[in-house]
Amino acid sequence: MTEALKLTDLSKTFPVGRTLLGRSTGSVKAVHPVTLSVRQGETLGIVGESGCGKSTLARMLVGLLEPTTGTIEIEGDALDNADPAEFGKRIQYVFQDPISSLNPRKTIRQVMEAPLKRLHRMPAAQRRTRISEIFDSVNLREEFLDRYPHEFSGGQAQRIGIARALAANARILILDEPVSALDVSVQAQVLNLLADLRTKFDLTYLFISHDLAVVEAVSDRIAVLYFGSVVELGPAEEVFANPRHPYTKLLAESAPVVGRPLAAPEAAGTELPDPLNPPPGCAFAARCPRATERCRVETPVLEPLGDASEAACFHPLGD
């Protein structure tokens, strides 16, 4: 199977603080070197809590942020010049907040025409037919095209956001929390639409969310991010059912599930490490019930664990 997207040692470090001369006084590693590959037609789910670097990673993939180190390969070609217009034809982004991702002073037609005009230099007549085709595939009526964004509900606006990404003709979509701003009954509509589009146009998805149940329901594989690193990667049906990394287990046990009694799975008050002053070794060690001396000194890397799963842990569960 071909690889749609391949990241090698991709990382991002942000400078923090500034002296009078503009030199930075410190740095925060938002994303530690990540090596991942996504197969053509696959949905890779990325879960993690706020501050784990999932949005930074996503923005690098579409060229909105320049990576500090590492390379991105899209459908076999290296794309590391951080030029959104070059990326735009191959990989597109669907934003979390559907309303604020649409310019309030442009009609939907103007929004939809931009990628066709700028990325593909399509003549006017062709644009018209292409837009109707796309609108039809996301179940939106064509009369919406001449309205302004504020006239739409969240669910409709998110369909427009998806339609815009499709208009660029990209085959890889980065979905950054695409349903978390939507009501539950609308969430399901959008998730089903995404699933239909994937089969129809043979799309590859990177689905980023903090909602474990949603990610599990849509993904083939899931990567769990903690403090800027991938700590576990495995098939969707396995990751939360049989977690290998203690952090994944904590996540799975924290999710509220009907029929499971309420119990905080860890002591109160545990928090993420300070990003300005990261601990040596495994970032999860301070919260981990299985941590040993080695975990506090050495940083574990993502390693295959026999079956299809990989985990960055010296003492994985289920061994």
Partner 1 sequence: MIAFLSLLARNRLALAGGIVLSAVVLLALVTPLLPLADPDVTNTSNRFVPPFSEGALLGTDHLGRDLLSRLLWGTRLSLAVGFAAAIVAATIGAAIGIIAGYYGGRTDNVIMRGVDMLMAFPYILLALAIVAALGPGLFNALIAVAAVNVPFFARNIRGITVGIAHKEFVDAARLAGLSNTRIILSEILPNVIPVIVIAMSTTIGWMILETAGLSFLGLGSQPPQADLGSMLGEARSALITNPHTSVVPGIMILVIVMSINLLGDGVRDALDPRLKSGALSRPMAATQVKRAGPVPAPTGKGLLEVQALETQFHVKDRIYRAVGGVDLHVEKGECLGIIGESGSGKSVTALSIMGLVSSPPGVITGGAAHYDGEDLIGAPYRRLRDMRGRNVSYIFQDPLATLHPLYRVGDQLIEAIRAHRPIGKEAGRAKAVELLDAVRIPNAAKRITDYPHEMSGGMRQRVGIAMALANDPDIIIADEPTTALDVTVQAQVLTILDDLRRSRGLAIIFITHDFGVVAQLCDRVAVMYAGRIVEEGRTTDILDTPRHPYTARLMACVPELGGGKRRLEAIAGLPPVVDRLPQGCAFADRCLKVQDDCRQGDIPLVRSGARAVRCLYPEEKAREAAE
Residues 177-196 that bind partner 1 (CB under 8 A): 183-189, 191-192, 195
Q: Is residue 124 within the footprint of partner 1 (CB under 8 A)?
A: no
C-alpha span between 180 and 84 (Å, rounded)? 25
Q: Is residue 73 within the footprint of partner 1 (CB under 8 A)?
A: no
Of the candidates 50, 81, 199, 277, which one interacts with partner 1 according to CB under 8 A? Answer: 50
Of the candidates 2, 23, 261, 293, which one interacts with partner 1 according to CB under 8 A? Answer: 261
Q: Is residue 76 within the footprint of partner 1 (CB under 8 A)?
A: no
C-alpha span between 37 and 274 (Å, rounded)? 29
316 by DSSP, 3-state: which? Answer: coil
> How many residues touch partner 1 (CB under 8 A)?
78
**Nearer to partner 1 among residue 2 and residue 121 (C-beta):** 121
Q: Is residue 308 within the footprint of partner 1 (CB under 8 A)?
A: no
Of the candidates 19, 20, 22, 81, which one interacts with partner 1 according to CB under 8 A? Answer: 22
Longest CA–CA separation in the chain, Å: 67
Of the candidates 44, 74, 214, 295, which one interacts with partner 1 according to CB under 8 A? Answer: 214
Minimum distance from residue 63 beta carbon to partner 1 (Å): 8
Residues 136-165 that bind partner 1 (CB under 8 A): 153, 155, 161, 164
In single-letter form, the type of residue at position 124 comes to A
With b for 16 or more beta-carbon neighbours within 10 A and e for fewer, the 237-267 pattern comes to ebbbebbbbbbbbbbbeeeeeeeeeeeeeee
- Each residue 79-118 as x (binds partner 1 by CB under 8 A) or -, in order, gives -----xx-xxx--xx-xxx--xxxxxxx----x--xx--x
Minimum distance from residue 271 beta carbon to partner 1 (Å): 6
Of the candidates 14, 70, 119, 286, which one interacts with partner 1 according to CB under 8 A? Answer: 119
CA angle 273, 279, 284 (to 5 degrees): 60
Say how many C-beta atoms besides its own lie within 10 A of residue 116's C-beta.
22
Residues 230-249 that bind partner 1 (CB under 8 A): 236-237, 240-241
Of the candidates 3, 28, 64, 296, which one interacts with partner 1 according to CB under 8 A? Answer: 64
Give which of 46, 59, 61 is closest to 224, Cα–Cα: 46
CA angle 291, 310, 270 (to 5 degrees): 35
- Tokens of residue 6, six digits: 């391949």
10 by DSSP, 3-state: which? Answer: strand
